A and B are shown apart, each in its own frame.
Chain A
Amino acid sequence: MQATVITITSGKGGVGKTTTAANLGCALALRGQKVVIIDGDIGLRNLDIVMGLENRIVYDAVDYVEGRCKLKQALIRDKRAPELYLLATAQTRDKTAMNPEKMSALCDELRPDFDFIIVDSPAGIEQGFETCLAPADRCLVVTNPEVSSVRDSDRVIGLIESKEKDRTTHLIINRLSAARVKKQDMLSVEDIQEVLSTAIIGVVPEDESILSSTNKGVPVALGGKGAAAVAYSEIARRLMGEDVPLQPLQSGGFLQRLFGRS
C-alpha cells in the first residue's frame, strides 16, 4: 500500500476546508479505504471537534514529531468506519512546531499503511500552507461561489503550480445555492471554471445539515442522506478513480439545474 496524500486548501478562511477534510475522510473510509486525516491547522484544533473526537486526544502530531509518543499512540481510531484515523494538531501557539520537512517526513512514515492521507490546511498562504502543501500528491482547492474566495483560490492555484513538484489540482465548489445563482448574487459554476481553469471534482451545495452535524460531531458523510452527503460520497468515488459524471442528465436533480443550461 502506498497512500495518496491529498491536501485540502483554499487561501481564504472559513470556506469549508475542515468540513471537506472530515467528510471526504469519512466517505473514503466507508468505501473500504484506509484513511488518516491530519489536522494541519496548528493552534486551532478544529478537525477533532468536527469529527466529534476531541475527548479522545491524548497525543497529537507535534507530540509524535517531538518524540513524546509513538506514532500509533497519536493515531486516534474512529470506530464509525472500518479504517479511519485522525492525527490531531497541537494547541501550542508555536507554529514552528511543524514545518514542510517534518510534515513530509510524517506523511512518508504513514504512507505504507494507508490508502489516503488527507491534510487539512489552515487559511492563508503562509508557513502553515507551505507545511501542508509539501507532502501533497494532489490538492483539492475549496472555493465558495463568491468573488473574493475565487480570487484567493486563483492565487493558491498559482502558488501550487509554481512548485517544482507536479501535482494534480482539483476544485471543490462549496456552499453553492442554485437559487442564489439564479438571482445572480452568486457566481455560477461556469463563471468559476472560466477564471480558475481548473477541473472541478465536485460541487457541494449549501446544506443546513452541515451545521448541525458539525455541532454534533457527526460528519454528514457518515450516513447522512442530504445533498451534501451525496456530493461528498461522489467526490470520494472520483478520488478512488471511478468515473462519476458531474452532471446526471436524467435525474432532474440539483446538479442538472446547475449545469443544464442547454
Chain B
Amino acid sequence: MITIKGLRQGLLIILGEGAWHDTLRELEARLVNSANFFKGGLVALDVGAQSLAADDIERARMLLSSFEVRLGALITQDAGTAAAARSLGLGPTLPAPADPTPARRTAVAAVRATEGVEPAEAGLPATSVSEPLDGGTDGILARRRVRSGQVLRHPGHIVVIGDVNPGAQLIAGGDIIVWGKLQGSAHAGALGDTGAIVGALVMQPSTLRIADTQLIQTGKERRRDAGPRVARVNADGIEITIWQEK
C-alpha cells in the first residue's frame, strides 16, 4: 500500500512493507497512473523500518526522476538505511526554501508556491499538514495571487483566494476552487478521481483537466463565461455550468 500526503515543502510518499523490488513496482504503477500529478514535484520517501542499501535508494531515485520527480528526502527508522541515504545526500526532511515570507502568509495554511516547494510553518511539524477533522478532507488554502511559473500541488484539495495567472499551475488530487480569476492551468482529480470539480469566480483556464479528461475549448467560451462557473466530468467530457446551489 502506498500513501501520498501533502507536505508544506512538497509531497510525502509512504511506501508499504515488502520486498523492495515489489515496492518499486507498485510505486512505478502509481507514477504511471498519475504522471501529471507527480511531474515536476519534490518528494520525501518514507520507507518505514526497511533496511536499504545506497543502491536500493538510488534505484528509487532513478525511478522517480524518470517521471520528472525529484527525491529530496528519505525518512527511515533504520540506522543503516539513514546512513546509506546520507551517503547520497538525502536527509530526513525536505529542504525548506531559504526564504519564508511570514508577512505575506496567513496563520491558517497560507501557502507560497515556489515550484510547489513550501516552507515549514512556524509551530507546525515540517513534515505534515494537519489531519482533517470529522470527515472533512485534506487540502491547502493559498491566499494570494499565483503567478506564472508557480505550481501548487496537493493530493487533497486546493483553494486559492486570489487570481491564478496565465502560466501558473494548480494540480490537486481532489477539487480546485479559485475565488478569483482562473487563467492558468488546473488539473483536479489528478490521482484519478473523476468526481472532482473545478470551480472559479471567473473561469478562463488555459487548460483544464479532471482526472484523465481534458476540457476541449472552442475559444468562444472564454469571453462569454463571466460569473462563477463549475466544471465537472459527465458522459461527454467536461461540462462547465453556472455555479448555483441546487
Contacts and interface: CB of A to CB of B under 8 A. Distances in A.
Given A154-B165, A195-B166, A164 B99 contact: yes
Contacts of B147: 154-155, 157-158, 161
If over half of A's interface residues share one DSSP class (helix, strand or loop), that class is named, otherwise mixed; here it is helix
A80 B100 CA distance: 43
A197 B101 contact: no
B163 to A, nearest CB: 8
Interface in B101-154: 101, 103-104, 112, 114, 145, 147-150
Interface in A142-163: 151-152, 154-155, 157-159, 161-163
A154 B99 contact: no
A151 B99 contact: no
A161 B101 contact: yes
A166 interface: yes
Contacts of A161: 101, 104, 147
Nearest to A157: B147
A158 B149 contact: yes
Contact of B148 (A155, A163, A164, A197): A155
A71 B163 CA distance: 46
Interface residues of A, number: 15
B98 A164 contact: yes
Given A151-B166, A151-B167, A195-B166, A158 B148 contact: yes
B195 interface: no
A158 B150 contact: yes
B221 to A, nearest CB: 20
B149 A155 contact: yes
Q: Which of B104, B112, B145, B147 has the most CB of A within 10 A?
A: B147
Contacts of B103: 166
Contacts of B104: 161
Nearest to B114: A162
B97 interface: yes
Contact of B112 (A162, A195, A197): A162
A193 to B, nearest CB: 12
Q: Which of B100, B150, B165 has the most CB of A within 10 A?
A: B165
A254 B145 CA distance: 31
Contacts of A165: 99
A189 to B, nearest CB: 17
A152 B99 CA distance: 21
A159 B149 CA distance: 9
Nearest to B112: A162
A95 B104 CA distance: 33
Nearest to A158: B147
A155 B97 CA distance: 17
B101 A195 contact: no
Contacts of A163: 99, 101
A205 to B, nearest CB: 26
Given A163-B101, A166-B103, A197-B163, 13 more contacts: A151-B148, A151-B166, A151-B167, A154-B147, A155-B148, A155-B149, A158-B114, A158-B147, A158-B150, A159-B149, A162-B97, A162-B101, A162-B112
Sorted from nearest, which 7 A-B pairs have the closest CB atoms?
A158-B147, A155-B149, A164-B99, A154-B148, A155-B148, A162-B114, A163-B99
6 contacts: A154-B149, A154-B165, A159-B114, A162-B99, A164-B101, A195-B165
